[in-house]
Amino acid sequence: MEQTLTRKGRLNANQLKLIAIIAMTIDHLTWAVFPGTQAVWYVFCLHIIGRLTAPIMWFFIAEGYHYTHDVKRYAARLFVFAAVSHFAYDFAFGIPFFAPSAGVFNRTSVMWSLAWAVVLIWVCHNEKIPKWGQILAIIGICLISFPSDWSSIAVMCPFFLYVHRDKFGLQARSIVFWTFIYAAVYFLFLDRLYGALQMFTFLTIPLLRQYNGERGQWKGMKWLFYIYYPAHLVVIGLIRIALHGNIPLIFQ
CA pair distance 242, 32, nearest whole angstrom: 10
Q: What pLDDT score does 9 carry? A: 80
CA pair distance 24, 47, nearest whole angstrom: 9
Q: What pLDDT score does 129 carry? A: 95
Q: Is residue 250 part of a domain?
A: no
Q: Is residue 249 part of a domain?
A: no
Q: Is residue 2 part of a domain?
A: no
Using CA of residue 93, residue 139, residue 79, residue 175, what is the dihedral sign?
A: negative
Q: What pLDDT score does 247 carry? A: 86
Q: What pLDDT score does 252 carry? A: 41
Give the mean pLDDT per block of 10 residues along the chain (252 residues).
Answer: 56 96 97 90 95 97 96 96 96 82 78 98 95 96 95 97 96 97 91 92 96 91 91 97 88 48
Q: Within 10 Å of residue 154's Cβ, how many Cβ atoms?
A: 27
Q: Is residue 173 part of a domain?
A: yes
Domain that holds residue 28: 13-244
The answer, as to whether pTM is greater than 0.85, is: yes
Q: Is residue 137 part of a domain?
A: yes
Q: Structurally, how many domains does the chain consist of?
A: 1
